Structure 1
């Protein structure tokens, strides 16, 4: 699990913090922000489809 966490944390951006614990805390905050961002995008897309139909995206 720690290998995957390191890869994920590095994918989120530059390591921030003086210790690994601080860096992990920042990575958790960035992860929550990323999940919130992705969920918001999906809700916007679903709302557009619901209100304008599938023709909006060419289907």
Structure 2
């Protein structure tokens, strides 16, 4: 196997570092979005009787 020249190796390393950084930041974003979503979610058992009314009647 022929060794890649130094410039090609540097480009590969830089691209590899860029990809790792992008994936790490995306994982952090997904984690933060899930945490925010879970803070907003409420189960039906937590709701009071008034809040649990899922319909409206017209008078």
Q: Could you say whether these structures have the same fold, taking a TM-score greater than 0.5 normalized by the shorter chain as the test?
A: yes
TM-score by length of 1: 0.58
* Length-normalised TM-score, structure 2: 0.58
Name whichever structure is richer in helix by fraction.
1
**Long gaps (5+) in structure 1:** 1-16, 54-59
Q: Give CA-to-partner distance per residue, 1:2-38, whole Å, 9 cap, x none.
A: xxxxxxxxxxxxxxx6111110000001111000000
Q: Which has the higher contact order (CA 8 A, sep 6+)?
A: 1
Unpaired segments of 5 or more residues in structure 2? 40-59
Please give the root-mean-square deviation of Cα atoms over the aligned residues, in Å: 1.1
Q: Distance in 2 between matches of 1:50 and 1:36?
A: 21
Moved over 6 A (4+): none
Q: What is the number of equivalent residue pairs in this alignment? A: 37
- 2:8 alignment partner, one of 13, 22, 25: 22
Rg comparison, structure with higher value:
2
